[in-house]
Structure 1
Amino acid sequence: MAKYLGAAGLTALESVWVRMAGAGLILLLVLAVFRPGALRIPRDRLGFFAAYAVIAVAGVQALFFLAITRLPVGVTLLIEYTAPVLVVLWVRFIRRVRLPRAAYLGALVAVLGLGVVVEVWQGLRLDALGLVLALLAAACCAGYFLMSENLHVDPLGLVSWGMIGAALVLVPVSQPWGIDWSAFGRSATVNGFTLPVAGAAAWLIVVATVVAYIAGVTAVRRLSAAVGATVATLEVIGAAMLAWILLGESLGVYQIVGGAVVLLGALLAQTATASRRPEPVAVEQPVLTGVDGR
């Protein structure tokens, strides 16, 4: 859908702003009417809400939209979904949880698969800046999964304020006052398929943002960041197929093979991580002895 907005004349950052602002306003209005308590932000969680807006929403979306202007959608998602490997590294070195060898093997396999996707033996066949943007999107995506785990706030309120915050953060770079709003009254054609621009924007806002973020945050709370990140890699397959049908963006042999290796490595790494729980620390109890030896 973002490609259709681009075909209508919107820049990548303008499309991101429309998506974030539209989704934030819809959620804000719905919650204000039906669930106002969800919009309360605990004072001690203001920093967390701000970080979520910048990293898990604005960072992921802006970097991804910029990346797909230089790379095919499927390839961009393959790179972004090396995020599970970053989750493994965070769990091991920041949370200091010892992981089984399968987790590290999976991370290595995913990195090797990524090397196949970008065809490193050819001196990097993909656009270098697009690759950097996609990798930064992967880092923000890992932050999204980690920040969505073990929430102590209402997920609907978090997503709502996250979208509004992201839209505000992106104002200086997106410059929404320069958007050609008349484009939403036209249709756009990509690869022979014509869609109303307003319809593409509505799908992008409601389905691909509001529904997707609420479902994702709720799922991670129930499954953990590790399992949630693994299941989310199915997005790569679905998006690559849709991009092939709607946009004519077919993947090459190396992208298909490398993509399968990336997903296999991510699955192996995250399954190993999810099956491992932090080991309880034994606390030595003091021995109290009295004059009678007790």
Structure 2
Amino acid sequence: MAKYLGAAGLTPIESVWVRMAGAGLILLLVLAVARPRALRIPRDQLGFFAAYAVIAVAGVQALFFLAITRLPVGVTLLIEYTAPVLVVLWVRFVRRVRLSRAAYLGALVAVVGLGVVVEVWQGLRLDALGLGLALLAAACCAGYFLMSDNLRVDPLGLVAWGMIGAAVVLVPVAQPWGIRWAAFGESATVAGYTLPVAGAAACLILVATVVAYVAGVTAVRRLSAAVGATVATLEVISAALLAWVLLDEHLGVAQLAGGAVVLLGALLAQTATAARQAVPVSTDEPVLTGVQGR
């Protein structure tokens, strides 16, 4: 859907701003009526909310939207979903928590798979800037996982204020007053498919943001962080297939195989990291709690 906004003349940052502002306003209105207590921000959590808005929302979304202007959607998501590997490294070397061998094996497998995706044996075939942006998106996504660990605030309120905060942070860059708003009354064509721009924007805001985030946090609370993160990796497969059908973005055999390896490694690393909480630690090292999925 973001590519339809781009075809209508919006820049990636403008598309991100429309998505964040639209989703934030909708969530605020819904919560103000149905669950007003969720919108209360504890004074001691103001810094956390600000960091969440900048890193976990604005950083992830803006960098991803910039990356897909230079890389296929499926490849960009594959790279972004190396985030669990970064979480493993952070937990081990920054938090100094012991992890099982499976976590390190998963990280190694994911890195090998990423090498297959970019076909390193033939030199870097993917756009270098796009690859860098996707890796930065992965780093911000890892920040999302880490900041979502052991939430002490209402998750729906956090998402709502995170969206609004991200929109505010991006105002100087996106400059919404310069957006060609007339484009939303037009249609755009991508890979032979034509859609109303307003319809694409509505889908991006309501389905890909509001429904996705609300369903995600609800699912993780009813299942577990490990299971939620496992299911979330299906986003890569579904997005690659949709991009293949709707955007004519074909993936090569090596990229498909490498993508499967990346997902396997990320899943192994994430599951092993989350499962670490059930393993008693006999030393004075801290015990890792579950890492919340995206």
After TM superposition, is the score higher than 0.5?
yes
* Paired residue type of 1:128: A
> 1:279 aligned to 2:274?
no
Unaligned runs of 5+ in 2: 285-294
Unaligned runs of 5+ in 1: 284-294
Cα distance per residue 1:267-293 (max 9 Å; x no partner): 22122222222635679xxxxxxxxxx
- 1:230, CA displacement in angstroms? 3.0
Aligned to 2:204: 204
Cα distance per residue 1:47-96 (max 9 Å; x no partner): 01001000110000000000000000000000000011112112222332
- Secondary structure, aligned partner of 2:249: coil
Mapped partners of 1:24, 1:203: distance in 2: 14
Mapped partners of 1:98, 1:231: distance in 2: 25
Radius of gyration: which is bigger? 1
Sequence identity percentage: 87
Aligned to 1:269: 269
Cα distance per residue 1:156-193 (max 9 Å; x no partner): 11111000000000011111111110110011111111
Mapped partners of 2:199, 2:281: distance in 1: 52
Aligned to 2:288: none
* Paired residue type of 1:279: P
Aligned to 2:47: 47
Query: Are the aligned partners of 1:17 and 1:171 in contact in 2 as well (CA < 8 Å)?
Result: yes
Mapped partners of 1:95, 1:222: distance in 2: 27
Alignment of 1:169-208 (within 5 A): 169-208=169-208
Paired residues in the alignment total: 283
Mapped partners of 2:221, 2:41: distance in 1: 19
Alignment of 1:212-231 (within 5 A): 212-223=212-223, 225-231=225-231
- 1:101, CA displacement in angstroms? 0.8
- Secondary structure, aligned partner of 2:276: coil
Aligned to 1:292: none
* Paired residue type of 2:44: D
Aligned to 1:142: 142
> 1:70 aligned to 2:97?
no
Mapped partners of 1:233, 1:282: distance in 2: 33
Mapped partners of 1:214, 1:281: distance in 2: 38
Aligned to 1:28: 28
Cα distance per residue 1:129-163 (max 9 Å; x no partner): 00000000001111112222211111111111000
Query: Are the aligned partners of 1:145 and 1:220 in contact in 2 as well (CA < 8 Å)?
Result: no
Mapped partners of 1:144, 1:68: distance in 2: 20
- Secondary structure, aligned partner of 1:16: helix
Mapped partners of 1:34, 1:216: distance in 2: 19
Mapped partners of 2:90, 2:230: distance in 1: 15
Mapped partners of 2:22, 2:127: distance in 1: 31
Mapped partners of 1:112, 1:282: distance in 2: 33
TM-score, length-normalised on structure 2? Answer: 0.92
> 1:256 aligned to 2:256?
yes
- 1:227, CA displacement in angstroms? 4.2
* Paired residue type of 1:112: V
Aligned to 1:242: 242
Query: Are the aligned partners of 1:64 and 1:137 in contact in 2 as well (CA < 8 Å)?
Result: yes
CA RMSD of aligned residues (A): 1.6
Mapped partners of 1:186, 1:259: distance in 2: 36
Mapped partners of 1:219, 1:87: distance in 2: 21
* Paired residue type of 1:251: L
- Secondary structure, aligned partner of 1:70: coil
Query: Are the aligned partners of 1:78 and 1:236 in contact in 2 as well (CA < 8 Å)?
Result: yes
Query: Are the aligned partners of 1:224 and 1:274 in contact in 2 as well (CA < 8 Å)?
Result: no
Aligned to 2:88: 88
